[in-house]
């Protein structure tokens, strides 16, 4: 069982070595209002996020009538026609459009619209109907693993692989609103990468939007290898709409995107590569050299008392190589603090 280790969506690569792909999750922050949904898509685009994530659901196909959110979902459910208009509006702006789907009819709508990506909540990690519909679509998708056992994850992966899926991102994250710091377990990202080593892994953040430390948490996730980041967006937390607790307002989200990009840039690489211009500048400024402790005459034999180990304006021989010149004779005079160079030394 082998999925693709790198996924490309509209010329953006998701996987090791690539900048984290950032999804602005609108979810139900529109509160059933078409114009709010429209404005949230526009705001997501303006933050610089890679994708805006809508949420499709048919209440009767998602929860039982007695479930606490059933009446809420009925009240805020937009029509297929409205979602089509909103989806096309986002595509027209140029932002990738993801869709979180909770049931088979919603998957079918996402496929019909040509979604760039699909999100499956961990609620459907063990739902063969939804898993099969998404796997057969061949659309890249994120698969939630929050509050799931590794047996459940492995079983879900096997099922989607058997049904033709090739591009999947495992997402860590617990959807409490907000999730407390002590419950985040960011190291699970590294664990998922070690257990399922051929998949991109992401992090779905649900920390308190009022807590600036949430940005630090996501930077930790990037440091542990998160290839995808998902963060809720809302027009205003003061309005206390659906899922507002874990959402960022547009200006905050713009800063979040910038912070993530800067954080990833700072990570660098584990590959051994030639020195950068910055490295070379640092070496020239910091590295110590073997320099003359005093004015030295031509023919003088070098010993430890004749040299010092100091930072010099122009780097020379590193002090660790002193044994290679110890006992050699100068072929020319050397002024105090000048570098001792091998070409100016001969056997005594």
Question: Which tens digits make up the pLDDT trace of 326-347?
Answer: 999 999 999 999 999 999 999 9
pLDDT for residue 319: 98
CATH superfamily of 18-267: Aldolase class I (3.20.20.70)
| C-alpha distances in Å from residue 232, one per residue of 92, 117, 135, 202, 252 | 22, 17, 25, 14, 11
CB 88 within 8 A of CB 117: no
Is 277-346 assigned to CATH 3.90.1210.10? yes
Which of 275, 312, 250 lies closest to 39, judged by CA?
250
CB half-sphere exposure, 245, CA atoms < 13 A: 9
In sign, the C-alpha dihedral spanning 320, 326, 331, 332 is: positive
Paired with 9 in beta bridges are 12
pLDDT for residue 263: 96
What's CA 235's distance to the chain center, in Å? 24
Question: Which tens digits make up the pLDDT trace of 238-266?
Answer: 999 998 999 999 999 999 999 999 999 99
Angle at 291 between CA 289 and CA 292, to 5 degrees: 170
pLDDT for residue 54: 98
pLDDT of 302 over the 90 cut: yes
Residue 2's pLDDT band, with cuts at 50, 70 and 90, is confident
- Which DSSP state fits 334? B
Q: What is the mean pLDDT of residues 277-282?
A: 94
In sign, the C-alpha dihedral spanning 98, 96, 221, 232 is: negative
The pTM assigned to this predicted structure is 0.90
pLDDT of 198 over the 90 cut: no
Residue 341 and residue 289: Cα distance in Å, rounded?
Answer: 10
pLDDT for residue 177: 82
CB 340 within 8 A of CB 334: yes
Residue 125 and residue 144: Cα distance in Å, rounded?
Answer: 7
Q: What is the mean pLDDT of residues 312-331?
A: 96
Report CA dihedral (230, 21, 254, 33) to the nearest 10 degrees. Answer: -50
Residue 139 and residue 46: Cα distance in Å, rounded?
Answer: 25
- Those residues whose C-beta lies under 8 Å from the C-beta of residue 263, and which sit 6 or more positions away, are 219, 222, 223
Residue 163 and residue 175: Cα distance in Å, rounded?
Answer: 27
Question: Which tens digits make up the pLDDT trace of 64-117?
Answer: 999 999 999 999 999 999 999 999 999 999 999 999 999 999 999 999 999 999
pLDDT of 1 over the 90 cut: no
Residue 125 and residue 128: Cα distance in Å, rounded?
Answer: 8
pLDDT for residue 107: 98
Question: Which tens digits make up the pLDDT trace of 19-54?
Answer: 999 999 999 999 999 999 999 999 999 999 999 999
Residue 270's pLDDT band, with cuts at 50, 70 and 90, is confident
pLDDT for residue 215: 85
The helix/strand/coil state of 336 is coil
Residue 215 and residue 221: Cα distance in Å, rounded?
Answer: 10
- Six-digit token pair at 127? 């739902």
- Those residues whose C-beta lies under 8 Å from the C-beta of residue 211, and which sit 6 or more positions away, are 178
Beta strands in the chain (DSSP E): 7-9, 12-14, 21-25, 51-56, 96-101, 117-120, 141-144, 168-172, 201-205, 228-233, 247-248, 288-292, 307-311, 329-330, 345-346
Which of 87, 82, 91, 85 lies closest to 110, judged by CA?
87
Residue 348's pLDDT band, with cuts at 50, 70 and 90, is confident
pLDDT for residue 175: 79
pLDDT for residue 197: 83
pLDDT of 297 over the 80 cut: yes
Domain ranges of the chain: 18-267, 277-346
Which of 168, 153, 26 lies closest to 100, judged by CA?
26
When the pLDDT of each residue in the chain is averaged and rounded to a whole number, the result is 96
């Amino acid at each position: 069982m082998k999925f693709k280790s790198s996924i490309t969506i509209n010329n953006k690569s998701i996987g090791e070595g690539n900048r984290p792909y950032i999804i602005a999750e609108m979810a139900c922050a529109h509160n059933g209002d078409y114009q709010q949904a429209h404005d949230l898509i526009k705001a997501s685009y303006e933050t610089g996020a890679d994708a805006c994530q809508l949420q499709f659901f048919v209440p009767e196909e998602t929860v039982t009538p007695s479930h606490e959110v059933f009446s809420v979902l009925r009240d805020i459910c937009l029509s297929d026609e409205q979602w089509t208009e909103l989806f096309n509006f986002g595509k027209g702006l140029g932002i990738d459009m993801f869709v979180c789907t909770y049931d088979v009819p919603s998957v079918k709508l996402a496929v019909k619209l040509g979604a760039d990506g699909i999100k499956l909540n961990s609620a459907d990690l063990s739902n063969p109907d939804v898993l099969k519909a998404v796997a057969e679509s061949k659309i890249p998708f994120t698969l939630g693993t929050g509050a799931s056992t590794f047996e459940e994850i492995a079983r879900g992966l096997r099922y989607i692989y058997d049904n033709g899926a090739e591009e999947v991102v495992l997402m860590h994250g617990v959807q409490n609103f907000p999730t407390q710091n002590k419950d985040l377990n960011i190291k699970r990202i590294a664990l998922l990468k070690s257990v399922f080593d051929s998949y991109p892994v992401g992090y779905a953040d649900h920390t308190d939007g009022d807590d600036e430390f949430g940005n630090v948490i996501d930077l930790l996730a990037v440091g542990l290898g998160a290839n995808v980041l998902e963060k809720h967006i809302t027009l205003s937390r003061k309005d206390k709409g659906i899922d507002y607790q874990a959402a960022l307002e547009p200006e905050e989200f713009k800063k979040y995107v910038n912070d993530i990009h800067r954080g990833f840039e700072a990570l660098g690489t584990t590959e051994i590569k030639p020195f950068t211009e910055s490295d070379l500048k640092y070496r020239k400024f910091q590295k110590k050299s073997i320099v003359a402790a005093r004015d030295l005459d031509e023919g003088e034999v070098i010993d430890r008392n004749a040299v010092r180990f100091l930072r010099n304006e122009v780097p020379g021989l590193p002090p660790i190589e002193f044994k290679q010149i110890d006992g050699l004779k100068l072929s020319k005079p050397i002024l105090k603090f000048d570098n001792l160079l091998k070409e100016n030394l001969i056997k005594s």
